Amino acid sequence: MRFTLRQGQPTDRDALLALEARAFEGDRFNRRQLGHLLTRANAATLVAVDADDAVIGYATLLFRRNSGTARLYSFCVDPERRGLGLGRRLLDAIEQVAVARDAQRVLLEVRADNRVAMRLYRHTGYVAHRWLDDYYEDGCAAWRMDKSLDSDAPTEPVTES
Ligand SMILES: CC(C)(COP(=O)(O)OP(=O)(O)OC[C@H]1O[C@@H](n2cnc3c(N)ncnc32)[C@H](O)[C@@H]1OP(=O)(O)O)[C@@H](O)C(=O)NCCC(=O)NCCS
């Protein structure tokens, strides 16, 4: 499948809103939240577009001042384009964005029943280190996972309060 990755722009907001509606059953971002994510300085969004410039996936990282940890805040691929390697490429590319912004670690939460995403994260070096009960709006639990971006360092579970 041919696609291009580029930085998200404020003009991508409606396309991301439509993609969210196709990709997630609940816990979606609304229009205002997406507009905020696409413009705030402490966020970075990559969008994947197909040959017709249609948005078919995106990933957003959040950064915190004085923190070496970037949080994968949103990540999805159009249901019709899944299983073709785009998710993996997008994840790899957003990790490169994190490295470019001096992050040493990526942190994320994933639904405990999301086997496809968990499998992708595990295969790309993420380690589950914390169980979060009743994390999503439907009551589903989450795993918090993280990955060290320092290729020399082993990924170790992180204890958080
Ligand atoms: C998770 C998601 C982004 C993966 O995107 P994708 O483009 O399908 O991913 P890829 O094609 O790169 O495949 C990644 C891995 O998942 C596997 N996979 C993809 N679709 C699968 C399916 N339906 N069933 C089982 N495995 C599947 C692939 O085989 C691949 O495994 P591998 O690394 O062992 O080869 C996509 O499924 C998605 O958008 N899901 C809904 C939103 C979501 O869950 N986001 C994550 C929130 S934490």
Q: Where are the alpha helices (DSSP H) in the chain?
A: 13-23, 31-39, 86-100, 115-123
- Evaluate whether the domain defined by 4-109 bears CATH number 3.40.630.30: yes
pLDDT in tens, 1-33: 899 999 999 999 999 999 999 999 888 999 999
- Ligand 1 centroid to Cα of residue 133, in Å, is 23
pLDDT in tens, 48-101: 999 999 999 999 999 999 999 999 999 999 999 999 999 999 999 999 999 999
| Nearest protein Cα to ligand 1, atom 32 | 120
Domain boundaries defined on the chain: 4-109
